[in-house]
A and B are shown apart, each in its own frame.
Chain A
Amino acid sequence: MIQKTPLYETHLAAGAKLVDFAGWQMPIHYGSQIEEHHAVRRDAGMFDVSHMLAIDLSGGEAKAFLRRLLANDVAKLTIPGKALYSCMLNEAGGVLDDLIVYFFSDTRYRLVVNAGTAEKDLAWMRLVAADFAVSLKPRRDLAMIAVQGPQSRERFWTAFPASRAATVLLSPFQAVEWQVEGVCWLIARTGYTGEDGFEIGLPAEQAAHVWQRLAAAGIKPCGLGARDTLRLEAGMNLYGQDMDESVTPLEAGLAWTVDWKDAARDFLGKAALQAQRQRQDLRQLLGLVLLERGVLRAHQKVETRHGRGEITSGTFSPTLNRSIALARLPAGVAVGEEVEVDIRDKRCRARVTKPVFVRNGKSLLQENV
């Protein structure tokens, strides 16, 4: 059955075009996805991300459990509220999901996972948790709203002035549990756009009211269409598209999220990654910029001097006004090289770049080509 977020009626009333995404009825845009994209790069936009699942973890062995479950190491989290991005791997090193974990104490954390993998993730976590004194509590009672853009924090504070004192000193990837009128909001300085902003987890029944307050403060509602072009410009992977169980973090541009420092730590997938690490022929996730007119799309083939690769995500970049992509390319392909992409049986020239195109409103093309 198709699921609806607590903001479903709000989206309908705002004239959103709704689509099925990972089993959820979600807004793809509210008119123009390009305008929504620009709003986030230039001012402030907001996204309903309530389809994602928050899972609260508690128990005496919570830290040990996460050090086993995740390829990144939660031991580096020492300041309450600090967040960490990590992959969760199977024994073969394949990516089951990517997620954010928020640290409150060694016995209490929150994980936020993708919508499409939520049930699979929970089942996997429960299996691993059997060996640990922990409890996992899925929080379907929460809504999540992301406000993103250079003016998003100011506009959020305009809408909720009382939150300013609690959140003004948050550094990037830090969150705070804000107590307001007897309920708790998790306000995190995180996001999926390459811009500053907050992601807020709050009781579902407050979502519609909060959304209206944020809109009144000048934050533009944005759909999944803009979310996709923003994350792709920012070089952030989309689970199920740029990575899945058939690839490891080392082949998905996420080697930096695998923490090897504590040699004694035995995380799931470690043995497989260790073997892979020795190899010189690993595929790599890199960026492409199309040098001709057209639009790069997922699954188009890429011809390089080192063999054939494939685009995993491609789109038109509203910020750069040209087409960009993430592509899985053979070992040996280097940034700056020219390659050819097969677009409807035509060979089109593209340049290999680092897999990040825009950050904080600015093009990185000059430095990354």
Chain B
Amino acid sequence: MNIPADLKYTASHEWIRVEADGSLSVGITDHAQAALGDIVFLELPEPGRTLAANEACAVVESVKAASDIYAPVAGEVVAKNEAAIDAPEKVNQDPYGTWLFKLKPADPAELEGLLDAAAYAQAAAA
């Protein structure tokens, strides 16, 4: 399983990268994309939308099923990845290079509650 050490994770298979400006890029893990199979459609939250932690805010659809994506922490959506919407297969091809949306966290301290790579590896194997 490919789980980069420099990212944070959720038990629901999102990865989170803390960007230089303090915003969070959110995507789905390699494990998640493999489980979903060929991804063909993304429904992403609009910039400006305020999300609660663990709120279902995006949908990733593969040929076989639709899957909800959850906000890792509370915050405001600042961007959605238009390039990924146009080419959803990028999520399969490069899951960690293809963020879905960016979030400005309401409380950066909430990041402490996210999983590190080792903890996620355990969660994903369970």
Which residues in A have some Cβ–Cβ distance to B below 8 Å? 17, 28-29, 32-34, 225, 229, 293-295, 297, 315-316, 318, 323, 344
Q: Chain B's nearest CB lies how many Å from the CB of A18?
A: 13
A316-B61, A344-B59 in contact; A295/B66 too (CB < 8 A)? Answer: yes
A32-B38, A33-B38 in contact; A315/B43 too (CB < 8 A)? Answer: no
Could you tell me if B64 and A34 are in contact, using CB atoms closer than 8 angstroms? no
Given A34-B63, A323-B41: 9 more A-B contacts, CB < 8 Å: A28-B64, A32-B37, A34-B38, A225-B63, A295-B41, A315-B63, A318-B63, A344-B59, A344-B66
Per-residue CB contact flags for chain B residues 43-71 toward chain A (1 = under 8 Å, else 0) read 10000000000000001010110100000
Q: Chain A's nearest CB lies how many Å from the CB of B46?
A: 13
Measured between beta carbons, the chain B residues less than 8 angstroms from A293 are 41
Query: A316 touches which one: B41, B43, B59, B92 (CB < 8 A)?
Result: B41
How many contacting A-B pairs (Cβ < 8 A)? 38
Query: B37 touches which one: A225, A294, A297, A323 (CB < 8 A)?
Result: A225
Query: B63 touches which one: A17, A33, A294, A344 (CB < 8 A)?
Result: A33
- Measured in the bound complex, the distance between the Cα atoms of B37 and A154 in whole Å is 30
Measured between beta carbons, the chain B residues less than 8 angstroms from A316 are 40-41, 61, 63
Could you tell me if A33 and B64 are in contact, using CB atoms closer than 8 angstroms? yes
**Considering the complex, which residues of chain B in the window 89-113 have a beta carbon less than 8 Å from any beta carbon of chain A?**
92
Measured between beta carbons, the chain A residues less than 8 angstroms from B40 are 34, 295, 316
Q: Chain B's nearest CB lies how many Å from the CB of A341?
A: 14
Q: What are 17 A-to-B residue pairs whose CB atoms are below 8 Å?
A: A28-B37, A28-B64, A33-B37, A33-B38, A33-B63, A34-B38, A225-B37, A293-B41, A295-B40, A295-B61, A295-B66, A297-B66, A315-B63, A316-B41, A318-B63, A323-B41, A344-B66
Measured between beta carbons, the chain A residues less than 8 angstroms from B66 are 295, 297, 344
- Measured in the bound complex, the distance between the Cα atoms of B92 and A29 in whole Å is 15
Which residue in chain A gives the minimum CB-CB distance to B65?
A297
- Measured in the bound complex, the distance between the Cα atoms of B65 and A33 in whole Å is 13
- Measured in the bound complex, the distance between the Cα atoms of B63 and A28 in whole Å is 12
Could you tell me if B43 and A294 are in contact, using CB atoms closer than 8 angstroms? yes
Which residue in chain B gives the minimum CB-CB distance to A19?
B64
Which residue in chain B gives the minimum CB-CB distance to A32?
B38
- Measured in the bound complex, the distance between the Cα atoms of B41 and A199 in whole Å is 33
Which residue in chain A gives the minimum CB-CB distance to B63?
A316
- Measured in the bound complex, the distance between the Cα atoms of B92 and A33 in whole Å is 12
Per-residue CB contact flags for chain B residues 10-49 toward chain A (1 = under 8 Å, else 0) read 0000000000000000000000000001101101000000
- Measured in the bound complex, the distance between the Cα atoms of B62 and A33 in whole Å is 10
Measured between beta carbons, the chain A residues less than 8 angstroms from B37 are 17, 28-29, 32-33, 225
Could you tell me if B64 and A225 are in contact, using CB atoms closer than 8 angstroms? yes
Measured between beta carbons, the chain A residues less than 8 angstroms from B43 are 294, 344
Measured between beta carbons, the chain B residues less than 8 angstroms from A318 are 63
Which residues in B have some Cβ–Cβ distance to A below 8 Å? 37-38, 40-41, 43, 59, 61, 63-64, 66, 92
Measured between beta carbons, the chain B residues less than 8 angstroms from A294 are 41, 43, 61
Measured between beta carbons, the chain A residues less than 8 angstroms from B61 are 294-295, 316
- Measured in the bound complex, the distance between the Cα atoms of B64 and A314 in whole Å is 9
Measured between beta carbons, the chain A residues less than 8 angstroms from B41 are 293-295, 316, 323
Measured between beta carbons, the chain B residues less than 8 angstroms from A32 are 37-38, 92
Q: Chain B's nearest CB lies how many Å from the CB of A208?
A: 26
Measured between beta carbons, the chain A residues less than 8 angstroms from B38 are 32-34
- Measured in the bound complex, the distance between the Cα atoms of B63 and A34 in whole Å is 8
Could you tell me if B63 and A229 are in contact, using CB atoms closer than 8 angstroms? yes
Q: Chain B's nearest CB lies how many Å from the CB of A259?
A: 36
- Measured in the bound complex, the distance between the Cα atoms of B64 and A293 in whole Å is 16
5 closest Cβ pairs, A-B complex:
A316-B40, A34-B38, A295-B61, A316-B63, A295-B41
- Measured in the bound complex, the distance between the Cα atoms of B64 and A295 in whole Å is 10
- Measured in the bound complex, the distance between the Cα atoms of B59 and A297 in whole Å is 14
- Measured in the bound complex, the distance between the Cα atoms of B66 and A297 in whole Å is 9
Which residue in chain B gives the minimum CB-CB distance to A224?
B64
Q: Chain B's nearest CB lies how many Å from the CB of A320?
A: 12
Measured between beta carbons, the chain B residues less than 8 angstroms from A323 are 41
Which residue in chain A gives the minimum CB-CB distance to B92?
A32
Q: Chain B's nearest CB lies how many Å from the CB of A300?
A: 11
Which residue in chain B gives the minimum CB-CB distance to A322?
B40
Measured between beta carbons, the chain A residues less than 8 angstroms from B64 are 28, 33, 225, 315
- Measured in the bound complex, the distance between the Cα atoms of B61 and A176 in whole Å is 42
Q: Chain B's nearest CB lies how many Å from the CB of A324?
A: 12
Measured between beta carbons, the chain B residues less than 8 angstroms from A225 are 37, 63-64
- Measured in the bound complex, the distance between the Cα atoms of B38 and A225 in whole Å is 10
